[in-house]
Copies of this chain bind each other. A is one copy, B any other.
């Protein structure tokens, strides 16, 4: 009896311990900040509207009239190898391959006021300060750094809509807080359309910045509260000619005058500080108005206790991270929880505490019954991030779909989002992958949005003849390269998206729609060139494009993936793909060569967004079209090769170091790939309810689901070499298939992997 009693007690204790272990300590926001990860180390809460983070350079967009390629490095504002910090701004994309944002740079300084950042080569020429990673701490919702030039300790935290700064000053009669509204990420000339700043009283400043960038018509409003009375303040306005400036010239607008407007505005606020004095700033954002920014500020940060705000923010992260409790070695946990962290940054909340947000029609809307989100990098995130949300963030994913439907309603084009941010569609990349996100949710039974309305929006989006060659695709069954570029990528992705609509229509018993999109979902055949064995651009006269390089990623017909990689892109019809490629044996050989072939150096010059480390053979993990490929072996009786390659990618492409990401994190898609793959399964085809099995890199996990159920993963004999799955049981029964279904997860299943260092080749 004692024996029987003893075991459960241990289990309870262990379980209790596992539940209570703090997980945020494994998050290293610094991962990916070196080179191509394009992540940032600053403070944000899960899906927060504010991303308060240091900027390490102010790269000119043009040098001698030519685009400065260095600008691209600064998508997230921070590069790990830089030696200086120019300040802290409030908005950042996480892991994108294009850039925008960087609104409202704050920099604390002392001594003679300097209003220009100066250069990295000569920091003394401006307000920027040197810093050292030794004096830098980056945690979820907390960033700390010492600004060496000024001996100022800078600390940052945030709520959903408020950035909270705490600067500890030395003694100074000339302490300054600079508010630089000229600074921005990807700040080309004329990007600032307008800025407007008002000093409302001696502790409150409001205003807005309106830009034209990736988001063509974007305005962000702010309210900035100081913990101390402003003693003196001033503005610098380097805007172009103001014709009626004369009337304003009655005032000295540069000194203690409460209102300024123009395109190139900087402000500073002066204080006297004793040694150790803290100047705190609460900086609230709103997409609607300064009045709403003030409301956000008061609602989310009523007090001035920095540590409390930090504690609350970190508790939010802890709560999110606890949704998947893994058992693994520390490095893996760091990779895993940093991936969780990166996966829960985007999409971002785009709504004030009162429910108001700006729509694509630039009107103020009220989100009735849902939280409105923006930052939809859908070409990337439909693949694994939104499927991940359907498991552990279904409520949020449902609201993301509601946000996408609001986008549809407000868009002039009446289309679901392609790549949307800040009440703008930026049309980045291709496809209409909103329909994948929606179909995946519909098929998996996610509730909280109107599925019928979503199906209609999906259908009409897919019928939008003005968009990306759809007019020809609908008529000819493919996008002709002479009519619309990236034609093969488009044709293949449209065919997949059409299959997604078909899934929805099936589920909702809309047979007419289902029939229509069944036909369209087969369109991948139209770009298949049997003679070369590759997907190949076709012309409007029906012929295939003549000259054709299957390796070149800049090859006409393709985008962010060459013909080699894109030829594997029929996620919804892997069996037909295999037939197309000559049956299982030839398919496996072909797939093997993808991972083993030697690429010419010229390839690396062409391929965007990734480091050389981001490539295995010709497999490009840093770009998304290949993300499902390693799992395709599963369909060709070679699951062990999936296992082997997935583990190879997990190991090679994700490391818990600043340079640990092999390519742009792409708003969490790369991280979501990690999370799934590390747990041993992956959504090869969102819109189906199946997850292909791979090879778990952890020792176990418990997924705490919103429905109250837990999905348990146990991994026996896992190890660095034990990458091969010998057996899988689900709820105690041996699984004789290579996938699990969504319901098996949400019904509190227990999945056990039995690992070995030997491949199980007959499975």
Contacts and interface: CB of A to CB of B under 8 A. Distances in A.
B363 A212 contact: no
Chain B CB within 10 Å, residue with most, of A256, A257, A262, A427: A427
B291 A190 contact: no
B251 A291 contact: no
Nearest to A217: B261
Interface in A179-196: 186, 188-191, 193-194, 196
A193 B217 CA distance: 11
B290 A208 contact: no
Chain A interface size, under 10 / 10 to 19 / 20 to 34 / 35 or more? 35 or more
A206 interface: yes
Contacts of A200: 412
Interface string A52-77: 00000000010000000000000000
Interface stretch (A238-246, A637-645, A718-726): A238-246
Interface string A253-269: 00011110110000000
A245 to B, nearest CB: 9
A706 interface: no
A241 B190 contact: yes
B466 A257 contact: yes
Contacts of A191: 243
B466 A413 contact: no
B242 A216 contact: yes
Contacts of A362: 196, 208, 289-290
A413 B201 CA distance: 10
Contact of A364 (B193, B364, B426): B364
Nearest to A189: B241
Contacts of A378: none
Contacts of A363: 289-291
B248 A427 contact: yes
A194 B206 contact: no
Interface in A336-365: 361-364
Chain B CB within 10 Å, residue with most, of A194, A208, A243, A289: A243
A98 to B, nearest CB: 7
Contact of A242 (B212, B243, B256, B289): B212
A214 B199 CA distance: 22
Contact of A250 (B189, B240, B261, B467): B467
Contact of A261 (B186, B212, B413): B212
Contacts of A208: 362
Contact of A216 (B214, B261, B412): B261
A208 to B, nearest CB: 7
Given A198-B412, A247-B419, 6 more contacts: A190-B241, A194-B212, A213-B244, A216-B248, A247-B426, A250-B427
26 contacts: A98-B244, A188-B241, A188-B243, A191-B243, A193-B210, A194-B194, A196-B217, A196-B362, A199-B412, A212-B261, A212-B262, A213-B243, A213-B244, A214-B244, A216-B248, A217-B261, A247-B427, A251-B427, A252-B466, A258-B413, A289-B362, A289-B364, A290-B362, A290-B363, A291-B361, A291-B364
